[in-house]
Amino acid sequence: MPSKISDEKIEKILELYEEGFSSRQIGKLLKIGNRTAMRYVNIHGLKPMTLKERTLKVKREIIENLKIKEREIEKHKPTTELSSSRIYHFNEDIFEVIDSEEKSILVGFYIRRRMLS
């Protein structure tokens, strides 16, 4: 006679099945037979999902996770071009016009370094 499965394991079977796992996947994860997993799914009145239904459920979850990640990225984008959290403020357009020997030397070093790497 087979040993009784604990209530916690039954709850885990039902939880995994509702998340879209197949009875075979549940069986491997919980080290039980896939028929045993399916039996508890049927006993508790859950409708067996087709492969298409499981696939659609997983796709919806992936899309929802991507939307959450996009919202997280949007939260961390700076609200203005120059963020107020910048430590050092400087003139970003200083090399637009090269009008001194110091600027030309620095630009020369930069170009040479870029050509060598």
Give the tens place of pLDDT for each residue, 78-89.
655 555 666 777
Determine the Cα–Cα distance for residues 45 and 96; give it in Å rounded to an integer: 72
The reported pTM is 0.46
The single-letter code of the amino acid at 109 is F
Tell me the per-residue pLDDT of 45-78, one tens digit each, with 9 for 90 and over.
888 777 788 788 778 888 888 887 777 777 766 6
Domain extent listing, the chain: 7-76
Determine the Cα–Cα distance for residues 48 and 1; give it in Å rounded to an integer: 26
